[in-house]
Structure 1
Amino acid sequence: MTARLELAPRAADAPPRPDVVLVRPRDFGAVPAGAPVQDPLGVGYLAAGLRADGYAVRILDAHALDLDDDGLVACVVQMNPRLIGLSLHSFADYTHCVAISQGVKAARPELYCVWGGEHATFHAENILTQHAEVDAVVLGEGEATLADLLAALPHAAPAGLAAPVAGVLARGRGTALLHGGFRTAIEDLDAQPEPHKDIVEMALRAGRPVSISVLTGRGCTHRCRFCTAHEFLRLGGGRVWRRRSPRRVVDEIQRLATSYLNSELVHPVMQFQDVIFLGTSTASRRWATEFVEEMERRRLVVPFYCMSRADAIIANRDLLPRLVGVGLWSIEMGIESGVDRILKRYDKQNSSDANTEAIELMRAFGITYDASGFIMFDPSMSLDELRDNALYLRDFGAATWDFFVTRLQLYPGTELRDEMIRKGLFVGADDIGKTCGYRFEDPLVERVAQFTSYYDPSIRDLDLALRDAKAEAAIAHRRGTSGRSEITTGIDLIHGSYCNHLLGLIDAVAAGAPDPQLAALIAGFVQRTKRLAAVMKDILRHPQGAPARAAPLDASMAQ
């Protein structure tokens, strides 16, 4: 893809050389064409904080600008900032961060290159050891850290910093790495400026759909063994879960709703990006109540999505109807597994029965829901547990195909990764881009996993149809109507189709089926998926009562 420099936003009074350019790469395989541009709050908070300190900041987002890695490099080289910052938000970004950093350094070796983000934090030493193009890694929260690093740059020679900077692992003089120690977590989030929306504005100017995000707090009170949310933002100490005041959050929601939600390009549901929006403690439930009261006092109804756990949904059952009244539309619930032994292995402090109870509550109030972080394949599970997991996900009633094939990801800094390394099941602990290159304890489970590592465009078409069908069903429920029977049937058939295919692979592997037989099962599944996607898309295009042109739904589409 060719760089188009004119797409880079530039205010009339912008300085000729910014102090910082913050870059968001895009993995074109992970982000499908037509998907809304995301509103990354980390970049927004960094830009807001640096500008408050007097620094000139520009942001480049590959998705909003439709730029590949080479295009981003060309933009950065033209802007010629003092510092470029890249976020290693997920391991899908890793190869892009490397390519962009190398490209920029090849053209402007004097430019200071910094990586940040959760995965960069826990791989900081490996990054600096393996990538000469990276000068420093920001550890944990970055607002104050990046400002202090910028202040130190006038004293930095090409060979590295003269002294450590708090919250940074950086190259020093010679071959030394300078660790500045970890910063204490930011205590007063209300004192932080609201995140700037450069990327939202960028997407709107380019005519691209975009979502709007809000953050009410930082951190997590739980210690799930596959996750680092409990530690990442408090590496130097501080409270594990900090919240902005409900009034400040509602101020931001009201302003963003007024500014953006009337645009046809903006997704109508605001995204709350907290790891956990609802909690179980007295303090967290009081916060949620005050939030609802503030929304009600202002007579605000703003559709929003949030993430939560089953126990928190249950603990806030009495508040759910009021949350729905002020706009709660969808909850992404972290269920992770339908097998209680696996939940205990993850230290989820939860059970499959609690998940089921929370699902029933969401259904009762017309809240759409998703299986956040569901892990179908765990390296310790048996074939029977895999089968139980598939059936549980089917009955959960909100699963796309991705959830039926997801493997446990072993992220750096997590207890499970360390455990797998000790057991000799995970090799390549220093491999920055590796999160699931492990051996399964049961070779039959591993064989099933191998035969789910494929993708066909028809699956995405069917997933999108499932999403739209769920939305139509939820709207009907909230209106007190029964909705279209074909929509309900279609949702059940899609879940059944996904589950039946996985169960078929499990049974075939258990029976010792050869590779050609497994390949034939996959080919049949893809053909059924194409048929079902075509029928569902046709149903969704036609309003209730209008005749559909495609073949009617029937059970054979899920067999």
Structure 2
Amino acid sequence: MKRYRIVLIFIEQIGSEAWDNWEALGIGYLASMLRQRENYVEIVKIPSIIKDCHVNEILDKKPDVVGFTLPCAFEERFKQLGSKLKEQNPQLHITCGNRYATDNANYLLTSNSWLDSVIRGEGEYTIVELVETLEEDGSLSGVLGVHYKENGKIIQNPDRPLPENLDLLPFPARDMIKDMKGEKHAWLITARGCVNKCSFCNSSFKGIQRGKVWRGRSPENIVDEMKYVINETGCTNFFIVDSSYESPGNFGKKRIQEIASEILKSNIDVNYGVYFCANTWNDNDLPLLELLRKSGLEYAFIGIEAGTEKGIELYNKKATIEDNYRILDLFRRAQLGTKVGFILWHPYLSYDELKENIEFLYKSNIGYSFRNYACMLYPYKGTAIYEQIKKDGLLIGDYDTELGHYNWKFADERLEPLKNFLCDFLDHTACFMKAASLEYKILSLINRTTNYLLRHELSTELIDRFREQVDLIYKQLNEQNHKFILSIISCFELNKSEGELSSIKKEMIMKTTELVDTLEKEEMLYIKRSIRANLIRERINVN
């Protein structure tokens, strides 16, 4: 029997260089499952602007099945590419998956005559059965987890139960790492499912597939995959994309302790980042954080999202404001880097809540980061917050297939011009863009270098001095941003003149430029000193 040839496609998002180093881990798992049964599988990354040459590139591989991973922002380019492929090869079976496809299976099949099927939920076992059935020219009626067309009708098969033992899955194919530009990063899943219920999140398939929501892999299996990635690609930098790495509860913390111990026992030299919740950490966890740091933990992305009681309730966060303050302080004392999720702008925001959030950013010393003043809520279909905004009549227009979410309006219309001004000002002014780029670069440099030096019992004097200088500059930025952002808010709230607003902008740009230039000079000075002291190795990225 002929084994089908499969092409799995990832389409880049428009206008984002970050996609150069984006790894589509889901189709990596699908590719490995299919390769286990000796199918020819190729993963193809297509640029955001689709041309005929990209269609030819795919067809030249002579696929029998083409599969798309379909995040919400890619729908228009998915339609453009899929329709052209089907037009040139009507025999192709075209399918798609991912969260957006799962939530919108019937709509996608109805609105795209060329689309043959949609895989709902976690798709490793489903795609194998789909391909096996197509190879045998059988009916898809028995394939769980598939919606498909038959004689012009859309057939909805029952959803497939969630896979229970993740250790049984093959390691995902890492084809995309080989094409990454600059420093390589591998994504890693140590568990699937999320026990939290944030109102804005659509990241997992809970409620769609039967089975235990949270499922974790064994520490040995996880570290074996790290070793596999290092051996296959040379990549030693990982980002663990579990919704919350320390979940669930006390068992979760014991588990990540075991993973860290297994990394150290295996004597592999890795750096990794994770997602953490704010509500589960306290001073008793300092020994655990120290162990995680020793094993290579570089930073944690902490989903704080709000600095007000109203915001915490709206986003259905388990953490309190006190929890948010505590985890930031804890990580500073543990000398671990933090990136913060903070959704400042939402439809129910008032001027009072806005100013309360600005005070939280200032008092928690994360107001130095300009992106925290420009992040807004993106309501995705199927989330609790989407349903609430829709019920309250605050959605604007239809689903935005280019941006990948629904747009909304403020209940207090006075906030719209302020939001538009601040987001445009902070997102598109050179000094703020440079500050954002430096923030990530310096975070990585400080934490990766510190971990390396401590692991090898080398002096941290130079990096400690550099950290002190960075903290001082960030403190100045925090103070400055607090002052200027409140002044801008006041201009809009009190309808002050354009001249006064222009004066604030000019002064903020000038002072920010000075501080950001100083930050960059301190970085270069540290690098020069470290090179002279022979403390920077080639693998620590300083470019």
Say whether the fold is shared (TM-score over 0.5): yes
Superposed counterparts of 1:128-277, under 5 Å: 128-153=109-134, 163=141, 165-174=143-152, 176-203=153-180, 208-229=182-203, 232=205, 235-261=208-234, 266=235, 269-277=237-245
Asked if 2 retains the 8 angstrom alpha-carbon contact of 1:21 and 1:76, the reply is: yes
Partner residue, 1:20: 6
- Is 1:50 the counterpart of 2:34? The answer is yes
Aligned amino acid, residue 335 of structure 2: G
| CA positional deviation for 1:316 | 4.2
Asked if 2 retains the 8 angstrom alpha-carbon contact of 1:439 and 1:446, the reply is: yes
Partner residue, 2:473: 490
Aligned amino acid, residue 141 of structure 1: E
Distance 2:96 2:399 in 1: 17
Query: Which consecutive residues of structure 2, in runs of 5 or more, have no partner in the other structure?
Result: 530-543
Superposed counterparts of 1:7-156, under 5 Å: 19-32=5-18, 37-62=21-46, 68-70=49-51, 71-91=53-73, 93-153=74-134
Q: Deviations over 1:354-403 (max 9, x none)?
A: 0111111111111101013x201021121111122233234444564333
Provide closer, same or farther for how the CA distance between residues 47 and 165 of structure 1 changes in structure 2, counting only shifts above 3 A.
same
Partner residue, 1:9: none
Partner residue, 1:440: 410
Q: Which moved more, 1:132-141 or 1:239-248?
A: 132-141
Which of the residues 268, 276, 291 maps onto 2:259?
291
Which of the residues 265, 275, 282 maps onto 1:307?
275
Distance 1:44 1:162 in 2: 24
Superposed counterparts of 1:427-506, under 5 Å: 427-428=396-397, 432=401, 435-454=405-424, 455-456=427-428, 458=430, 459-474=432-447, 475=449, 481=461, 482-484=464-466, 485-506=468-489
Distance 1:46 1:288 in 2: 26
| CA positional deviation for 1:186 | 0.5
Secondary structure, counterpart of 1:321 in structure 2: helix
Q: How many pairs are equivalent?
A: 511
| CA positional deviation for 1:54 | 2.7
Distance 1:544 1:236 in 2: 51
Q: Counting helix residues as a fraction of each chain, which structure ranks higher?
A: 2
Distance 1:515 1:172 in 2: 62
Secondary structure, counterpart of 1:319 in structure 2: helix
Partner residue, 1:421: 390
Superposed counterparts of 1:525-536, under 5 Å: 525-526=508-509, 529-536=512-519
| CA positional deviation for 1:415 | 0.9
Asked if 2 retains the 8 angstrom alpha-carbon contact of 1:166 and 1:181, the reply is: yes
Distance 2:194 2:106 in 1: 25
Asked if 2 retains the 8 angstrom alpha-carbon contact of 1:17 and 1:81, the reply is: no
- Is 1:347 the counterpart of 2:301? The answer is no
Secondary structure, counterpart of 2:408 in structure 1: coil
Q: Alignment RMSD, CA only? A: 3.0
Provide closer, same or farther for how the CA distance between residues 77 and 293 of structure 1 changes in structure 2, counting only shifts above 3 A.
same
Query: Which consecutive residues of structure 1, in runs of 5 or more, have no partner in the other structure?
Result: 1-15, 547-559
Asked if 1 retains the 8 angstrom alpha-carbon contact of 2:261 and 2:295, the reply is: no
Q: Which moved more, 1:121-130 or 1:486-495?
A: 486-495
Partner residue, 1:552: none
Normalized against structure 1, the TM-score is what?
Answer: 0.83
Distance 2:144 2:528 in 1: 65
Secondary structure, counterpart of 2:29 in structure 1: helix
| CA positional deviation for 1:337 | 0.9
| CA positional deviation for 1:522 | 5.0
Aligned amino acid, residue 89 of structure 1: P
Q: Deviations over 1:438-470 (max 9, x none)?
A: 121112222321223423262332211222333
Asked if 1 retains the 8 angstrom alpha-carbon contact of 2:66 and 2:94, the reply is: yes
| CA positional deviation for 1:516 | 7.3
| CA positional deviation for 1:123 | 2.0
Aligned amino acid, residue 442 of structure 1: D
Provide closer, same or farther for how the CA distance between residues 509 and 83 of structure 1 changes in structure 2, counting only shifts above 3 A.
same
Provide closer, same or farther for how the CA distance between residues 383 and 298 of structure 1 changes in structure 2, counting only shifts above 3 A.
same
Distance 1:310 1:419 in 2: 25
Secondary structure, counterpart of 1:250 in structure 2: helix
| CA positional deviation for 1:428 | 4.4
Distance 1:495 1:30 in 2: 27
| CA positional deviation for 1:252 | 1.5
Distance 1:18 1:518 in 2: 63
Secondary structure, counterpart of 1:335 in structure 2: strand
Asked if 2 retains the 8 angstrom alpha-carbon contact of 1:17 and 1:80, the reply is: no
- Is 1:319 the counterpart of 2:319? The answer is no
Normalized against structure 2, the TM-score is what?
Answer: 0.85
